[in-house]
Amino acid sequence: MHFRKTHSLVRRCFSDTTGVSFESMAERCVQLAKMNKFNAFVSVVEPEQVINKAKESDLRKKQNTLKSKIDGVVFSLKDTYCTKNVKTTMASKMLDDFVPSYNATILDKLLNAGGIMVGKTNMDEFAMGSGTTFSTFGPTKNPAFEHETYIAGGSSGGSAASVAEKSSELYIALHD
């Protein structure tokens, strides 16, 4: 899906939140991400950073100067994408100490558009799996079956679970 098409899709999905501040949505997302009830996240951004970005988006919204249609939208990023000064492990012990000195292009585009990253999501090691069960961080549970042991499915199970549990509004994951 192209970036522009994603903009309009995301804004349509969240257009019914007109009366809700980005700050309150970000607070909810960060709270759920920190709990990590379904093991969807491998790392979570500092809550103050997420909340401050949301406040900036609220101010732009009030001044009618939003950067884009995804300004203020909280997103999670699959751990395959490089994040400057933040560990990128691809769910493998082999990359446990890898801290990139740059961001992936998609991350820069999302941040420049006003998107707010809440954290990096769990996955199968090196995205080589089909259920997010082979991760150094453990398997991701399926939020749809909270009291069962069903898997989240796919190598991007952490990303899907983060949206299903509402700890992010959008996720970014590589797909063929």
% residues pLDDT > 90 (the chain):
63
So what's the pLDDT on residue 53?
Answer: 98
Find the mean pLDDT for residues 81-98. 95
- Domains of the chain with bracketed CATH: 3-172 (3.90.1300.10)
| DSSP result, 150-166 | -B--STTHHHHHHHHTT
pLDDT digits (tens, 9 = 90+) for 7-26: 433 443 444 456 789 999 99
Q: How far apart are CA 75 and CA 73, in angstroms?
A: 6
Q: How far apart are CA 25 and CA 159, in angstroms?
A: 18
| Residue 111: its H or E element | helix 105-112
Quick one: pLDDT band at residue 157, thresholds 50, 70, 90?
A: confident
% residues pLDDT > 70 (the chain):
86
Quick one: pLDDT band at residue 81, thresholds 50, 70, 90?
A: very high
* Angle value at C-alpha 43, between 173 and 99, nearest 5 degrees: 85
Buried/exposed code over 151-167 (b: 16+ C-beta within 10 A; e: otherwise): bbbbbbbbbbbbbbbeb
